Structure 1
């Protein structure tokens, strides 16, 4: 590629940016999945569709308890599985009798979707919905036109009856219906209805706004790009790649052929079709997605959850953690204790930004409006940026005195796109700079974690970037357990971002 063409390609890639709904979603960082249905009472992961609704009989259900458990961990939202593959609806749908209205819960007058949506609003969490396209109960499944009409009707009920929704989460599971036929989903019709009725909601996984990280094991790529070829939007919708059996292997699968989705070499052949398609990491706090008493002693350890958090939120993705209510209709005590521990650890980890009062110098600055001091002003909309075309630049900080730290948080200005391709952290006490950490992408947020070091001076060098890099935040934090910041509503605030609830 000629030099001028290469420059034009890089400039165009640098300018791919998120929609407002995508940016607002990414800033949520950490939120919950709630898997709860008749499977909770049959001890299964996938229902067959022939379960008797009378099985759904919680004895002490509390949506407020779910919300409080989420808030204790620092979560900002909750996505409810309103209907899983078994077809049982947690709201009294007018289009099927296979709902909570046919259960003994509240004498058939309950609406769990409403209860959870209202509990989220009382607790300051955003509310989202999961609606399985695959329905093993509905007799029209496999009669594609008829079922698509049925599905759109149910989707309309959820989009119009429960207030503002931040996310509609679709998976790609696609098996046979009760009539022995396979369904052809009308994804575009689903998307049009969501855009019409909930224009601020992101459509996740089998959708155009949020990309699945590729596994359910909490694994993240070393370099998670948000700017990728447009064809990736169709990957999870392809029937041949969908989950069609409840055998456990799908959840543990980690693909090795897609570790690089967005480097220059990968996106160059698709320069005319690049999209902003960021990643979400989803995993469960237990081995299963639904509650099983046999897993009460298998709740993920604090160390495991922190590792996923740092890899996801600290690796330019979001973290969707599943919490399965038990047969009572409550988050089990073991899970609740672990969530509280997680929230306390995260709040402690980011309490004090050791760079908050640092003096700094930048090697290049575009203009006064984009001066380096913006990385410490706690405002999302301000940022440092060198002159256009400057792909390598650095910032030096004087922390005032030697400080011991083990994590550095970097954030690009999200609405300007994703530009940084590699960076270097170095420390100095006297004359020699010593390497601390070498990383690749930053994106929305990078949490660089390393063994504790002690330095007075810190240098961040952007080694490679697209057109020109941006930084909107820089945080330096002491060894684990010494720092943290809680928001007024109990949710974890992104470090230094005082204007984020």
Structure 2
């Protein structure tokens, strides 16, 4: 037992995982029966007539996400109460049984079309747990039901970038626990939407382990294959609708991929992290939370710690009973998007000269770090676990953020690094970090300098960097 460094760096993302990673920041939309009952977990016995948004406008939801700088939307097509936001042929517990839009409405269709029109990708959340469906707990019957609904969602609404399965699992009406046929569900997804990632209870994207927005100091994408364990994911997921789970942090799993973990592992897999967190204290809209929306400053901190910490950020934005994103949420999202574009819209190091301690060959020139491309990289020769770079910005420049990106097509390698700037003849400490992965945002007090130094002090075999960006917040 033990995985060598050589074996660890050969673990790389699939094309679908790489495309997902490049999305970085996208939305959860929790909307459904719970929006109108004041619950977070419905019981499944709710009257479909309760679903009646009075000013519903799906395009406004997507616009709020787009203006915030998001790249996609995942809609809760069916939550635990079993109520379907599309007119499923397999149950009457859906929008077709409401008076809303005379029973002809389809929220899934509307959001999918709005995403296409506004250039965002569309994904689906469908709860495996169903508190309404009578066959739940009769495993073969319910698995057929669930698979039929999955096929509806994956064939009628265009391209899907993500299928999101959570780990909530309760007893059925017969008092039995449902045994899900995950492998059959995965086969259906791969058949109908081969580019879609399967998140959380799935093989492509890993849950970060909490809903509080907490991120690890070192977030490894290369983790032991034991992390993909459906029973463990379910056991760590929310068990009761008590309103406290979203604030809990499990500190027992801070280290998922260090050398000490490699020494105890049998096999490592590429299983990157997604951080799911709500802009409000709860997942579904509740008017009592109108004064508890995350501020722009809180959104900035959240974005930079997650997207800038080798994770993707899945930010939940719950529409209200009108069927609109509340004015406060929409304003903060818009203002955050403005900040995001102002801060990261111009790379102050683009085209800058770069000197490196050593390169492997002329095809991986250090200038690749500032060429603005994601398909080029720099690396020293194999065996050089430490390396040094100097970026020449050409003139004294004010900055407060440096963004590093590894060329993850060649694995995750950097374990520790330091940044410094030149003041006279001296190098002055700026920042110290651990892993980089897909993206690492390093923020610090505004600094003015021409030369910036990067020292990779620990890496696996040799570091392979794709990008070195320099920015200044506005």
Gaps of 5+ in 1: 482-501
Aligned twin of 2:86: 91
Which residues of 2 match residues 338-357 of structure 1 at below 5 A? Answer: 338-357=332-351
Matched, 1:285 2:268: no
Q: Where does 1:148-187 land on structure 2 (aligned, <5 Å)?
A: 148-187=143-182
Q: 1:332 aligns with which of 326, 330, 339?
A: 326
Gap change, CA 1:461 and 1:236, over 3 Å in 2: farther
- 1:455-470 maps to which residues of 2 (within 5 A)? 455-470=449-464
Q: Secondary structure at the match of 1:45?
A: coil
Deviation track 1:256-279 (CA, whole Å, cap 9, x = no partner) reads 111010001112221x41100000
Deviation of residue 181 (structure 1)? 2.0
Secondary structure at the counterpart of residue 338 of structure 1: helix
Q: Deviations over 1:447-477 (max 9, x none)?
A: 0011122222111111111111111111111
Equivalent in 38, 43, 67 of residue 72 of structure 1: 67
Deviation, structure 1 residue 12: 1.3
Contact 2:246 2:281 (C-alpha < 8 Å) held by counterparts:
no
> Does 1:227 pair with 2:222?
yes
**Counterpart in the other structure of 1:498:** none
Q: Give RMSD over aligned pairs.
A: 1.4
1:195 corresponds in structure 2 to 190
Q: Give CA-to-partner distance per residue, 1:85-130, whole Å, 9 cap, x none.
A: 0000001111111000001111001111111111100110000000
Alignment of 1:59-138 (within 5 A): 59-138=54-133
Check the 8 A contact 2:73/2:120 in 1, yes or no. yes
Q: Indicate how the Cα distance of structure 1 residues 320 and 15 shifts in structure 2: closer, same or farther if over 3 A, else same.
A: same
CA deviation profile, 1:140-175 (whole Å, cap 9, x unmatched): 111111111111111111111111100000000011
Say whether residues 1:9 and 2:7 are aligned partners: no
Match of 1:432 among 412, 417, 426: 426
2:441 counterpart of 1:443 = no
Task: State the aligned residue count.
Answer: 474
Structure 2: gaps of 5 or more residues? none
For 1:410, what is the secondary structure of its paired residue?
strand
Query: In the alignment, what sits opposite 1:51?
Result: 46
Query: Which residue is equivalent to 1:212?
Result: 207
Counterpart residue number, 2:365: 371
Counterpart of 2:251 in structure 1 is 256
Does residue 390 (structure 1) correspond to residue 384 (structure 2)? The answer is yes
- For residues 338 and 229 of structure 2, what CA distance do their matches in structure 1 show? 39
Instruction: Return 308-317 or 413-422, whichever deviates more.
Output: 413-422
How far apart are 1:176 and its partner, in Å? 1.7
Cα offsets for 1:262-316 (capped at 9, x unmatched): 001112221x411000000110011110011111111111111111100100000
Contact 1:206-1:237 at 8 Å conserved across structures: no
CA contact (8 A) 1:206 1:236 kept: no
Say if 2:13 is the partner of 1:18. Answer: yes
Shift in Å at residue 367 of structure 1? 1.1
Shift of 1:237: 5.1
Question: SS where residue 223 of structure 1 aligns?
Answer: coil
Alpha-carbon separation, structure 2, partners of 1:182 and 1:414: 40
Partner secondary structure for residue 176 of structure 1? coil
What TM-score, normalized by structure 1, do the two folds share? 0.93
Could you say which residue in structure 2 is the equivalent of 1:476? 470
Q: Does 1:410 align with 2:404?
A: yes
Is the 1:402–1:429 contact (alpha carbons within 8 Å) kept by the matching residues of 2?
no
Secondary structure in structure 2 of the residue aligned to 1:257:
helix
